[in-house]
Amino acid sequence: MSTIAEGEDAWDVPALGERQSLRQSVADSLRALVIAGRMKPGEIYSAPRLAAQFGVSATPVREAMLDLVMEGHIETVRNKGFRVLELSPRELDELAELRRLIEPPVMARIARRVPGSAELTGQVEALRAVAQEIVASASRRDLVQYIDQDLRFHLDFLALHGNDRLVQEVRALRRRSRLFGLESLAEKGTLVSLAREHEEMVDLALAGDAAGLEQLTHQHIEHVRHEWAGAEQE
Domain boundaries, the chain: 22-84, 89-233
* Across 89-96, average pLDDT: 87
- The CB density around residue 162, as the number of other CB atoms within 10 Å, is 11
Confidence of residue 127 (pLDDT cuts 50, 70, 90): very high
Domain 22-84, CATH number (from 1.10.10.10, 3.20.20.70, 3.40.50.1970, 1.10.340.70): 1.10.10.10
> What CATH number labels 89-233?
1.20.120.530
Res. 136: pLDDT tops 70: yes
* Across 202-225, average pLDDT: 93
pLDDT digits (tens, 9 = 90+) for 163-187: 999 999 999 888 887 776 677 777 7
pLDDT score recorded for residue 15? 52
Q: Using DSSP, state whether 84 is helix, strand or coil.
A: strand
Nearest CA among 92, 95, 19, 8 for reference residue 43: 8
Confidence of residue 76 (pLDDT cuts 50, 70, 90): very high
The rounded distance, in Å, linking the Cα atoms of 99 and 88 is 17
pLDDT score recorded for residue 39? 85
Res. 226: pLDDT tops 80: no
Contacts of 2 (CB under 8 A, 6+ apart): 43, 44
Residue % of the chain over a pLDDT of 90: 47
pLDDT digits (tens, 9 = 90+) for 11-29: 555 555 444 588 888 988 8
* Across 39-58, average pLDDT: 89
Q: What is the pTM of this model?
A: 0.79
| First-last CA distance in the chain | 23
Q: Using DSSP, state whether 100 is helix, strand or coil.
A: helix
